Amino acid sequence: MSRTPLDTVEHAAATPDVELPWAELGLKKDEYERIVEILGRRPTGAELAMYSVMWSEHCSYKSSKVHLRQFGEKAPENDALLVGIGENAGVVDVGQGYAVTFKVESHNHPSYVEPYQGAATGVGGIVRDIIAMGARPVAVVDPLRFGAADHPDTKRVLPGVVAGIGGYGNCLGLPNIGGEVVFDACYQGNPLVNAGCIGVMRHEDIHLAKASGAGNKVILYGARTGGDGIGGASILASETFDDAKPSKRPAVQVGDPFQEKLLIECTLEAFKEKLVVGIQDLGAAGLSCATSELASNGSGGMRVTLDDVPLRDSTLSPEEILMSESQERMCAVVEPDKVDRFLEICDKWDVIATVIGEVTDGDRLEIYWHGEKIVDVDPRTVAHEGPTYERPYARPAWQDELQADDAGKLPRPRSGEELKDQVLKLVGSPNQASKQWITQQYDHFVQGNTVLAMPEDSGMIRIDEESGLGVAIATDGNGRYAKLDPYTGAQLALAEAYRNVAATGAKPLAVSDCLNFGSPEDPAVMWQFAEAVRGLADGCQQLGTPVTGGNVSLYNQTGEAAIHPTPVVAVLGVIDDVARRTPVAFQEEGQLLYLLGDTREEFGGSAWSQVIHDHLGGLPPKVDLERERLLAEILISASRDGMIDSAHDLSDGGLIQAVVESALLGGKGARLVVPDGLDAFTFLFSESAGRAVVAVPRSEELRFTDMCRARNLPATRIGVVDGDTVEVQGEFTLTLQELRKAHEETIPALLA
Amino acid sequence: MTARIGVVTFPGSLDDRDTQRAIRLAGAEPVALWHKDKDLKQVDAVVLCGGFSYGDYLRAGAIARFSPVMDTVIEQARAGLPVLGICNGFQILTEAHLLPGAMLGNDHLHFICRDQKLRVENASTAWTSDYEQGQEISIPLKNMDGRYVADEYTLDKLEAEGRVAFRYLDFNPNGSLRDIAGITNEAGNVVGLMPHPEHAVEPLIGTGRTDGLPFFTSILKKLVNA
Which pLDDT tens digit goes with each residue over A488-513?
999 999 999 999 999 999 999 999 99
Tell me the pLDDT band of A250, cut-offs 50, 70 and 90.
low
Nearest to A262 among B11, B57, B144 (CB): B11
- Annotated active-site residue A151? The verdict is no
Instruction: Flag whether the pTM goes above 0.90.
Output: yes
* pLDDT tens-digit map of A662-715: 999 999 999 999 999 999 999 999 999 999 999 999 999 999 999 999 999 999
**Nearest Cα to A134, choosing from A281, A257, A349, A336?**
A281
CB contact under 8 A, A262 and B140: no
Residue A433 near residue A160, CB atoms below 8 Å? no
- Annotated active-site residue B198? The verdict is yes
- Whether chain B has a CB inside 8 Å of the CB on A467: the answer is no
Q: Render the burial of A429-467: b for 16+ CB within 10 Å, e for the rest.
A: bbbbbbbebbbbbbbbbbbbbbbbbbbbbbbbbbbbeee
Q: Render the burial of A83-103: b for 16+ CB within 10 Å, e for the rest.
A: bbbebbbbbbbbeeebbbbbb
- Whether chain A has a CB inside 8 Å of the CB on B211: the answer is no
How far apart, in whole angstroms, are the C-alpha atoms of residue A565 and residue A489? 9
CB contact under 8 A, B205 and A350: no
The one-letter amino acid code at A2 reads S
List all residues 6 or more positions away from B75 whose beta carbon is below 8 Å from its beta carbon: none
- The one-character DSSP state at A140 is E
How far apart, in whole angstroms, are the C-alpha atoms of residue A326 and residue A306? 15
Residue A239 has pLDDT above 80, yes or no: no
Residue B2 near residue B45, CB atoms below 8 Å? no
Q: Which of A249-253, A279-283, A415-419 is the most confident on average?
A: A415-419
* pLDDT tens-digit map of A187-211: 999 999 999 999 999 998 888 777 7
How far apart, in whole angstroms, are the C-alpha atoms of residue B205 and residue B203? 6
Residue of A123, A445, A464 to mutate, interface with B, max B Cβ within 10 Å: A445
Listing DSSP states for B98-121 in one string gives SSSSEEE--TT-S-EEEEEEEEE-
Q: Specify the 3-state DSSP secondary structure of A204.
A: helix
**Nearest Cα to A329, choosing from A352, A345, A347?**
A352
A63 is in an annotated binding site: no
Average predicted confidence (pLDDT) for chain A? 93
Residue of B21, B57, B111, B201 to mutate, interface with A, max A Cβ within 10 Å: B111
How far apart, in whole angstroms, are the C-alpha atoms of residue A459 and residue A735? 29
Nearest to B142 among A443, A448, A465 (CB): A443
Q: Which residues of A touch B20 (CB under 8 A)?
A: none
* pLDDT tens-digit map of A382-436: 988 889 999 999 999 999 999 999 999 999 999 999 999 999 999 999 999 999 9
Task: State how many domains chain B has.
Answer: 1
Residue A621 near residue A691, CB atoms below 8 Å? no
- Tell how strand A192-202 and strand A136-146 pair up: antiparallel
Residue A285 has pLDDT above 90, yes or no: no
CB contact under 8 A, A442 and B55: no
How close is the nearest chain A Cα to the Cα of B90, in Å? Answer: 17
Query: Positive or negative, the Cα torsion across A174, B113, B60, B3?
Result: positive
Write out the residue range of the structural domain in which residue B220 sits.
4-225
Tell me the pLDDT band of B226, cut-offs 50, 70 and 90.
confident
Lowest mean pLDDT among A181-195, A246-260, A355-369, A489-503: A246-260
Q: Specify the 3-state DSSP secondary structure of A73.
A: helix
Residue of B nearest to A264 (CA): B12
| Widest Cα–Cα separation across chain B | 47
Annotated active-site residue in B87, B95, B121, B199 = B87
Residue A623 near residue A493, CB atoms below 8 Å? no
The CATH number covering residue B216 comes to: 3.40.50.880
Q: What is the mean pLDDT of residues A41-46?
A: 94
Interface of A with B in 575-604 (CB under 8 A): 578-579, 581
Nearest to B14 among A262, A444, A446 (CB): A446
